[in-house]
Chain A
Amino acid sequence: MTSAHSKLYSDDVSLVVVVVDTNPFFWAAAAAALPFADFFAHLIHFVNSILLLNHLNRVVVIAAGVSSCAYILDSSDVSPSGGVGISDTFDRASRKAEEFIAQDARATAGNGSVASANAASLLSGALSLALCYIQRIFRSGTRHPQPRILCLQGSPDGPEQYVAVMNSIFSAQRSMVPIDSCIVGTQDSAFLQQASYITGGVYFKPQELNGVSAIRRLSTWDMFVQFVCQYSARIRRSVQPAGQNSVVSCLI
């Protein structure tokens, strides 16, 4: 699993596509451990820190809902008010997220088959959107940033999406785009384990210790921060307590 050749890319400039799981069922169930509001706030901080590292960095946030996916945030968009601070990013993102959730609700209501409590979010769709965006960037000029995809997943995998997800994983592998995954739920995701293993990314799922939810204990920020720098994501920091095991991290 080779990493991207640095010759093609501008040094140190990265394009991070974050795929956020907005499955309402999952978030409703996880409301006690981690409210979606906190999670979203942490996400915005994370996006901001990536943008701070290098003024050429770009971040795209894609929301994966139950019936649809959409772009929530593109850091290269010029906001209507003209500001570029974090609060501005936050405003834009939250507005778009709200619209998306409403739209997703409408779509789900209309589509009767997706009514179970264990519905999966549309990971395959979101990955496809991400890869299309990255391809567009590739064709935009000779020097482009180094792309990677970060998936924040909480809901379980939908077996009906298996083929589509594997296709996206292989095309990511071919384009040499690593897929990092961070599991904010309680269940491991086999799809994302495969994705990270095949494309050479990092799969991270914090363990629960002594019954305390890992999410709470580690605060989402601590988890995210290791994904901020593209290199630190490759080097798993050993803050794991004893007993951590079988977390697939492919060190390159």
Chain B
Amino acid sequence: MGSMTIGAKYKTTIKDPGTPGILRMNDERFTFTPNDPRSAMKFNVDFRTIKGHKFNKVEGNKAALLNLSKEDKAGGYIFEFDNVGNRDLSRDFVARVLGKHQGIVPPRPTVTPENSVASAALEQLSAAEVERRVKLLREDSELQKLHKKFVLGNILQESEFWATRKNLLEDEANKRSKQRPGFKNALVDIKPTTDGRTNKVTFQITPEMIHQIFAEKPAVRRAYLDFVPKKMSETRFWEKYCRAEYLVRTKNTAAATAEAAGDEELAIFLKNDDILAKEAKMKIKRVDPTLDMEADTGDDYIHLPDHGIHRDGNKETVDADSELARRTLSQDLNRHAAVVLEGRSLGNVESTDPKTLAEALVRSKKEPPSTSIVDDANHERLVKVARMTEIEDLQAPRSLPYAPLCIKDPKEYFDSQQANALRSLGGSNDGRKARTCSLSTEEAFHHLMDQMSSIKVNKLNCPIIQSDMALKVLNELNEGISRSRRLNLKNPQEGLLGQLPQHTRDELMDHWTAIQELLRHFWSSYPITSAVLYNKVQRVKEAMTQIYQKLQLIKESAQPDVRHEISRLVKPMTQALDAAFNHDVEQQQKSSKAGNRHNGF
């Protein structure tokens, strides 16, 4: 399956700052070699000792962690990665390897059923579907366990197992199409930090900021592509840029002009962004100002004098002849807003290298000027329609169209059907007419009056409930209630499960999930209408019998002090299984009774 080498930091605990190094993983083992050759943190571990992996959700400044836990939960290895992407890659790799080691075989597209499993038609699965299933199995270890037990144990088939989990698969598919995070809303503000003692001013630029700067100021981008690395190094370029920003910020126009005159690169940063100006002009040309409110001459703000307040808040108008850019706050905001709304058009460019970023941006911005000349109305309309992009997050969840709930026609419940139904079930026929009263009105009333007088005579002599019996039952119930109260109040923290040993608890939970899954398939197969369902029910029944026996075993072998608790826990499970078995027996009896309808099941 390959191997993987990635840089990571190994931490012994979460708080540990971590030892940077290289993490190498392959199918059998993984090794960590710290960068510092003197460090003692190197190790070489077999994947077989790793039983699970956990990862944290990365929010804000939290580090991306991956935790490989050892078998007896005695410890684990925590790795910190530089970014979420790396962590996710490692995590997927680890999951694959662990899956292989723990014997999970991802389903193949053409499952050939074995002879013991009576087969349905071959399931045609697309590769995407298979991938989704594997991913789900990887991420949910409970599901993995169930899958292993049932599908690989030939009790259930792949298709049946996944039939009830369609919504999970669908969610998985929808998760893929994530909305890409866009640019930050805040203006790119390169604020320097000053060292109080010396005259140094420090600027900090992150790759994210560089991306934003390139997107907002195409002239800077062009300058970058032109100058770096031919004319100057990257650091030098950014130094000049920061210097230009600093000069603008400190309103030092005199110094700015002086420096611009001296340093032509610096001058570029201080001038108006001519690429933007060109774009604005083109936009205006393309638009019919009577119809489209999108762009008008107001966009051409660069040439309008005295427009808006300056970035640092003052309103004074500067000398109109100055070539230096008069960047006002509104211009910056507008440009920034336009860029943010455009979104990140380079979804796949993950590299932080400014050079590649700049080139990619240039490529994406390149539009053949001929399209702006096409005046075809249809084309314009089509273009506008295409621009109404779907925001995936705001769409309603595309859930599978489930089969609608079928509430039977209430008329079926009512009288007309009952006689037929009863007859078919062999019950006694209640449809016969009530015994007609042959008495006349007077006689009938007379009879009733007699009854009433007999009531008055007998009063309430018929005992509904025997009083001594009732007293006995009440006393017993009271005792039971007070006993359980006493027991429960003694250990308020420990629930029922707390008193059991760990392994019994785990076993019982496993059995319970298995029973739920089996019962779900069992009950959904009724009424049995085909041989396939019949075979499925047989298989499921076998599995249920096995679990039933295991439960009995647990109950019997329990320690005397926890026996009561265990039997209380096991009782609902056995009851559910009993109900299923009884139903099956009844159905078999019915079908054997109606012998001539025996279709060879």
- The finding on whether chains A and B are genuine partners in a shared complex, rather than unrelated, reads yes
Chain A residues at the B interface, C-beta cutoff of 8 Å: 22, 24-31, 35-38, 40-42, 44-45, 86-87, 90, 94, 97-98, 101-102, 104-105, 108-109, 114-115, 117-118, 156, 185-188, 190, 193-194, 197, 207-211, 219, 221, 242-246, 248
Residue of B428, B437, B444, B447 touching A209 (CB-CB under 8 A): B428
* Residue B374 lies at the interface, judged by CB distance under 8 Å to chain A: no
A193 and B413 contact, Cβ closer than 8 Å, known pairs A186-B434, A246-B421 = yes
A186 and B430 contact, Cβ closer than 8 Å, known pairs A29-B436, A37-B454, A221-B464 = yes
Main secondary structure of the interface of B (DSSP, over half): helix
Residue of A28, A90, A115 touching B447 (CB-CB under 8 A): A28
A residues less than 8 Å from B454 (CB atoms): 37
Residue of A26, A37, A86, A219 touching B451 (CB-CB under 8 A): A37
* Residue B333 lies at the interface, judged by CB distance under 8 Å to chain A: no
The answer to whether B433 and A101 have CB atoms under 8 Å apart is no
The closest CB in chain A to the CB of B410 belongs to A197
A148 to B435 Cα, complex, angstroms: 31
The answer to whether B462 and A22 have CB atoms under 8 Å apart is no
A residues less than 8 Å from B415 (CB atoms): 188, 190, 193
B residues less than 8 Å from A245 (CB atoms): 418, 421-422, 425, 427
The answer to whether A185 and B434 have CB atoms under 8 Å apart is yes
A24 and B444 contact, Cβ closer than 8 Å, known pairs A105-B449, A243-B425 = yes
Nearest-CB distance from A240 to chain B (Å)?
11
Nearest-CB distance from B368 to chain A (Å)?
64
Count the B residues whose beta carbon is within 8 Å of the partner chain — how many? 44
The answer to whether B413 and A94 have CB atoms under 8 Å apart is no
The answer to whether A115 and B452 have CB atoms under 8 Å apart is no
A28 and B437 contact, Cβ closer than 8 Å, known pairs A105-B445, A210-B428, A246-B417 = yes
Residue of B421, B426, B451, B462 touching A36 (CB-CB under 8 A): B451
The answer to whether A109 and B441 have CB atoms under 8 Å apart is yes
Chain B residues at the A interface, C-beta cutoff of 8 Å: 410, 412-415, 417-418, 421-422, 425-428, 430, 432-445, 447-449, 451-456, 458-460, 462, 464-465, 586
The closest CB in chain A to the CB of B454 belongs to A37
The answer to whether A207 and B430 have CB atoms under 8 Å apart is yes
Residue of A30, A186, A246 touching B413 (CB-CB under 8 A): A246
A residues less than 8 Å from B441 (CB atoms): 24, 108-109, 114-115
A208 and B430 contact, Cβ closer than 8 Å, known pairs A101-B452, A245-B421 = yes
The answer to whether A102 and B455 have CB atoms under 8 Å apart is no
The answer to whether A104 and B445 have CB atoms under 8 Å apart is yes
Task: List 24 contacting pairs A-B, 8 Å CB cutoff, sorted by A.
Answer: A22-B448, A26-B437, A27-B448, A28-B444, A37-B454, A86-B460, A90-B459, A108-B441, A108-B445, A109-B441, A118-B436, A185-B434, A186-B430, A186-B435, A188-B415, A193-B414, A194-B414, A197-B410, A208-B428, A208-B430, A209-B428, A210-B428, A243-B426, A245-B427
A105 to B412 Cα, complex, angstroms: 39
B residues less than 8 Å from A30 (CB atoms): 435
B residues less than 8 Å from A42 (CB atoms): 462, 464
B residues less than 8 Å from A207 (CB atoms): 427-428, 430
The closest CB in chain A to the CB of B453 belongs to A98
Residue of B425, B428, B440 touching A211 (CB-CB under 8 A): B428
A residues less than 8 Å from B458 (CB atoms): 37, 41
A248 to B441 Cα, complex, angstroms: 34
The answer to whether B462 and A246 have CB atoms under 8 Å apart is no
Residue of A24, A209, A243 touching B445 (CB-CB under 8 A): A24
